[in-house]
Chains A and B, each alone.
Chain A
């Protein structure tokens, strides 16, 4: 099966070469059969990548320890569930997995639009084939997951060998979330290839109309949704497994995942200016280009060892390939832009500073500054080594200090944007729109202060969250009131009806509401408490309102590990609340250990217990307890963000009435210009 997989991979490479070169020739010659064959080759590439990936999964399932990658990342006792996760746990497998996810996107695009956008699709096919070609080059010639296990022989060659068992999977990856976090994150990274392909194709083809920008936006939203889920699942995994009490450490790999998310978010806002007013075309195209390039840069950072990270894969020369690819992509984007920049001329002017357009401009400014600040902070150790000869570390406190004010500014703009009208907002309208949210925010701020919230950034954050939430409620209220008057339905039904009639707008507000919840959770970090104590059996420690009693310890023998557990009774006001079982897992195969945190989670706070281990000097178990306020808001907020994005992706339920020009008698034309009697229906895009 390893030969089969390897063969499928090399065949995929050959087909990708044909799809790429044949596609370019097809664009030049405009030969219909050649265009069709290049597209078919693109579909074949995807099918062959699926075959290769399934072959590798089969090798894991059948414990084939003659393949080096399987030996390094699996063992016989590893559960079937985690054997799937082993596919992406190492450099070679994760790159094949990358190609696999990209192939899902590519085949979806090629099949969905096979009879549509005839002028655009050949370009899209060539760009996608080019990206696939790069990853297939890596998987075939640089980091093949099908490399056979071999030992050097006396003749200077290699003898193929097979091992009885493998080295096992990294223990920190043996958690259910690790089976869903990387696929989500990679789906985000790879998904940004599609909007990149549409934007570049439209620029190269000078594709007329606005269709391409709608397609780009839709695919960006899909990728953005996966990226959001991936980031949050990764944060939750770090929180529930690593046992340090937090969920975001500003590690270079975490930062790498945030960068395209930030530019993608900026694009999803600024694209509205292009759709509505024909503005920001150059900016939007470059945002899509940069988002894709940041995905590649993130991969480069993760895999090259340029920056040190606890997440990073083994150091290798693979980074040079990514640098080369990044240079090619940049070169192509610059050439396409300078050749066709007149195609991106703006159609409108800015009418007023007090407008939705200017709020989007500032929103983009803040998101881009945050992105560049995180990127330069991540790369600063490398810069400092170049300039001074020694590395200067840039850790979490730096990123917090830089990004907290930017985050608050962004939250402020999230509230302001929906209250401003397109083109120009009159003073009266501003007063009417701002009165409610500002009043709610001020009252909330005073109440929070009275009830003891004295941390400045947290207080500002909570106040802004109230402001944004009030803005959203006001928007729903105003829209639903109109629906309710017309239909006589209940408030809830009116809200649902309103949302389904304009999914993009109200889905966007739901996303904003999710972000408010996430910011509430982030602001809660200022009130964290922690205590660490050696705890003899039968003794207690106190943290916050909780009293923790260590009742006993036990040991569980599982198939792939041994777990030592603390059995802790949680009491509040002397009354038992629940039992918690923090544990340490020891994996004999690779002689490593990991923690399994026990969490009692409420909307108000998390009681977070870590069994740190036995103190070798005293032979007493040590417990590390944390009170982390409002953490649950982050996870629930994430779910609301995803839900809002899905709502925004759903087409509007009701068609939008569009006035159509009709032929009218010449005399009447002078009076009316158009007659609203005859109408056409079209589906609104937002």
Chain B
């Protein structure tokens, strides 16, 4: 093995090791680890946390209502009623989506804690993605334009030596100083 190929091999081993390590970690991850928030132990509370408390006072999820300013720091009467209704739907054998649909039918779309991924609610989810894509396109466009911009060509050396004006020299010095400070 010659000295020119050794660093490349070393780099390739390092790269493979890093990728393998990351893929291994992802593969080892249990499916539940993909969720951001810890699981609620109680199904009712879990469903309640996907619905807004409709008391018009706390702006919290029914399953997490703490009701600031109330006589009791916990679910207010409205949240309790909503949680009971969820219990009733669960007892009737509904699955999670059916329970949520029934609650939305009863309280209207305002009861969603997060917009639904259907109908107009989908727009809310698409907006951030579209901003990111549009911003990325803009950055790429700006970068391309910057890179195409003509560069000032220094004066060609003539018979009398380098023809650089004192102003240009001063500007160049200032620029060099500024750009090497940090």
Residue in B64, B72, B151, B182 whose CB lies within 8 Å of A244: B64
- Contact string, B127-138, partner A, CB cutoff 8 A, digits 1/0? 110011001101
* Contacts A392-B112, A529-B38 given; does A656 touch B181 at CB 8 Å: yes
Does A613 lie within 8 Å of B147, measured CB to CB? Answer: no
Binds B, one of A127-135, A314-322, A542-550, A591-599: A591-599
Tell me if B18 is interfacial: C-beta within 8 Å of chain A: yes
Tell me if B13 is interfacial: C-beta within 8 Å of chain A: no
Residues of the B chain whose Cβ atoms lie less than 8 Å from the Cβ of A383: 123
Does B127 lie within 8 Å of A376, measured CB to CB? Answer: yes
Binds A, one of B53-61, B86-94, B95-103: B53-61
Name the distance in Å between B43's Cβ and chain A's nearest Cβ. 16
Those of B24-47 within 8 Å (CB) of chain A: 25, 28-30, 33-38
CB-nearest residue of chain A to B66: A244
Residues of the A chain whose Cβ atoms lie less than 8 Å from the Cβ of B25: 445-446, 449, 459
Name the distance in Å between A222's Cβ and chain B's nearest Cβ. 21
8 closest cross-chain pairs (CB), A and B: A350-B146, A613-B72, A244-B66, A373-B128, A395-B113, A398-B114, A612-B73, A454-B33
CB-nearest residue of chain A to B65: A244
Taking A380-B124, A455-B36, A584-B73 as given, write out 19 further A-B residue pairs in contact, using a Cβ cutoff of 8 Å, ordered by the A residue number.
Answer: A244-B66, A251-B59, A276-B181, A308-B59, A349-B147, A350-B143, A369-B135, A372-B128, A373-B128, A380-B115, A390-B108, A392-B112, A392-B120, A394-B124, A395-B52, A595-B73, A613-B73, A661-B173, A674-B169
Does B66 lie within 8 Å of A394, measured CB to CB? Answer: no
Does B74 lie within 8 Å of A401, measured CB to CB? Answer: no
Residues of the B chain whose Cβ atoms lie less than 8 Å from the Cβ of A553: none
Residues of the B chain whose Cβ atoms lie less than 8 Å from the Cβ of A395: 52, 59, 61, 112-114
Does B136 lie within 8 Å of A394, measured CB to CB? Answer: no
Does A612 lie within 8 Å of B36, measured CB to CB? Answer: no
Does A670 lie within 8 Å of B110, measured CB to CB? Answer: no
Does A172 lie within 8 Å of B69, measured CB to CB? Answer: yes
Cα distance A673–B170 in the bound complex, in angstroms: 11
Cα distance A659–B178 in the bound complex, in angstroms: 12
Tell me if B111 is interfacial: C-beta within 8 Å of chain A: yes
- Contact string, A422-453, partner B, CB cutoff 8 A, digits 1/0? 11000000000000001000100110010000
Does A392 lie within 8 Å of B136, measured CB to CB? Answer: no
Name the distance in Å between B10's Cβ and chain A's nearest Cβ. 11
Tell me if B156 is interfacial: C-beta within 8 Å of chain A: no
Cα distance A68–B126 in the bound complex, in angstroms: 47
* Contacts A624-B73, A661-B170, A686-B182 given; does A361 touch B143 at CB 8 Å: yes
Does A171 lie within 8 Å of B69, measured CB to CB? Answer: yes
Cα distance A195–B68 in the bound complex, in angstroms: 37
Tell me if B8 is interfacial: C-beta within 8 Å of chain A: no
Tell me if B3 is interfacial: C-beta within 8 Å of chain A: no
Provide 10 A-B residue pairs closer than 8 Å at the C-beta atoms, listed in order of the A residue. A275-B178, A310-B68, A358-B143, A376-B127, A380-B127, A401-B36, A422-B182, A446-B25, A449-B28, A456-B33
Cα distance A154–B132 in the bound complex, in angstroms: 63
Residues of the B chain whose Cβ atoms lie less than 8 Å from the Cβ of A398: 113-115, 124-125
Does A276 lie within 8 Å of B178, measured CB to CB? Answer: yes
Name the distance in Å between A611's Cβ and chain B's nearest Cβ. 8
Tell me if A368 is interfacial: C-beta within 8 Å of chain B: yes
Tell me if A391 is interfacial: C-beta within 8 Å of chain B: yes
Name the distance in Å between A510's Cβ and chain B's nearest Cβ. 15
Residues of the A chain whose Cβ atoms lie less than 8 Å from the Cβ of B170: 661
Residue in A309, A361, A387, A456 whose CB lies within 8 Å of B139: A361
Residues of the B chain whose Cβ atoms lie less than 8 Å from the Cβ of A172: 68-69
Residues of the A chain whose Cβ atoms lie less than 8 Å from the Cβ of B166: 661
* Contacts A349-B151, A613-B73 given; does A456 touch B29 at CB 8 Å: yes
Cα distance A394–B178 in the bound complex, in angstroms: 46
Tell me if A602 is interfacial: C-beta within 8 Å of chain B: no
CB-nearest residue of chain B to A457: B36
Cα distance A271–B125 in the bound complex, in angstroms: 32
Cα distance A438–B18 in the bound complex, in angstroms: 10
Cα distance A459–B22 in the bound complex, in angstroms: 12
Name the distance in Å between B61's Cβ and chain A's nearest Cβ. 7
Tell me if B161 is interfacial: C-beta within 8 Å of chain A: yes
Tell me if A487 is interfacial: C-beta within 8 Å of chain B: no
Name the distance in Å between A69's Cβ and chain B's nearest Cβ. 21
Residues of the B chain whose Cβ atoms lie less than 8 Å from the Cβ of A661: 166, 169-170, 173
Does A442 lie within 8 Å of B18, measured CB to CB? Answer: yes
Those of A591-618 within 8 Å (CB) of chain B: 592-595, 610-615
Cα distance A353–B164 in the bound complex, in angstroms: 30
Does B128 lie within 8 Å of A362, measured CB to CB? Answer: no
Does B68 lie within 8 Å of A242, measured CB to CB? Answer: yes
Cα distance A394–B128 in the bound complex, in angstroms: 13
Does B21 lie within 8 Å of A446, measured CB to CB? Answer: yes
Residues of the B chain whose Cβ atoms lie less than 8 Å from the Cβ of A243: 66, 68, 73
Residues of the A chain whose Cβ atoms lie less than 8 Å from the Cβ of B111: 393
Does A277 lie within 8 Å of B179, measured CB to CB? Answer: yes
Does B33 lie within 8 Å of A369, measured CB to CB? Answer: no
Tell me if B23 is interfacial: C-beta within 8 Å of chain A: no
Cα distance A350–B127 in the bound complex, in angstroms: 30
Residues of the A chain whose Cβ atoms lie less than 8 Å from the Cβ of B114: 393-395, 397-398, 401
Tell me if A644 is interfacial: C-beta within 8 Å of chain B: no
Tell me if A305 is interfacial: C-beta within 8 Å of chain B: no
Residues of the A chain whose Cβ atoms lie less than 8 Å from the Cβ of B68: 172, 242-244, 310, 594
Name the distance in Å between A62's Cβ and chain B's nearest Cβ. 29
* Contacts A275-B178, A594-B69, A658-B177 given; does A528 touch B38 at CB 8 Å: yes
Cα distance A442–B173 in the bound complex, in angstroms: 42
- Name the residue among A349, A391, A673 with the largest chain B CB count within 10 angstroms: A349
CB-nearest residue of chain A to B111: A393
Tell me if A532 is interfacial: C-beta within 8 Å of chain B: yes
Does B36 lie within 8 Å of A624, measured CB to CB? Answer: no
Cα distance A457–B143 in the bound complex, in angstroms: 31
Does A397 lie within 8 Å of B113, measured CB to CB? Answer: yes
Residues of the A chain whose Cβ atoms lie less than 8 Å from the Cβ of B164: 673
Cα distance A277–B25 in the bound complex, in angstroms: 42
Cα distance A206–B159 in the bound complex, in angstroms: 40
CB-nearest residue of chain A to B115: A392
Cα distance A226–B35 in the bound complex, in angstroms: 35
Does A392 lie within 8 Å of B109, measured CB to CB? Answer: yes
Residues of the A chain whose Cβ atoms lie less than 8 Å from the Cβ of B181: 276, 502, 656, 684, 686
Name the distance in Å between A599's Cβ and chain B's nearest Cβ. 15
Does A390 lie within 8 Å of B135, measured CB to CB? Answer: no
Does B136 lie within 8 Å of A391, measured CB to CB? Answer: no
Cα distance A369–B138 in the bound complex, in angstroms: 12
Cα distance A368–B120 in the bound complex, in angstroms: 24
CB-nearest residue of chain A to B108: A390
CB-nearest residue of chain A to B64: A244
Name the distance in Å between A400's Cβ and chain B's nearest Cβ. 6
Cα distance A670–B66 in the bound complex, in angstroms: 79
Tell me if A117 is interfacial: C-beta within 8 Å of chain B: no
Tell me if A493 is interfacial: C-beta within 8 Å of chain B: no
- Contact string, A388-429, partner B, CB cutoff 8 A, digits 1/0? 101111111110111010100000000000000011000000
Tell me if A215 is interfacial: C-beta within 8 Å of chain B: no
- Contact string, A324-363, partner B, CB cutoff 8 A, digits 1/0? 0000000000000000000000100110010000100110
- Contact string, A115-133, partner B, CB cutoff 8 A, digits 1/0? 0000000000000000000
Tell me if B149 is interfacial: C-beta within 8 Å of chain A: yes
Cα distance A404–B37 in the bound complex, in angstroms: 12
Residues of the A chain whose Cβ atoms lie less than 8 Å from the Cβ of B37: 397, 400, 526
Cα distance A362–B182 in the bound complex, in angstroms: 20
Cα distance A435–B108 in the bound complex, in angstroms: 55
Does B131 lie within 8 Å of A442, measured CB to CB? Answer: no
Tell me if A80 is interfacial: C-beta within 8 Å of chain B: no
CB-nearest residue of chain B to A684: B181
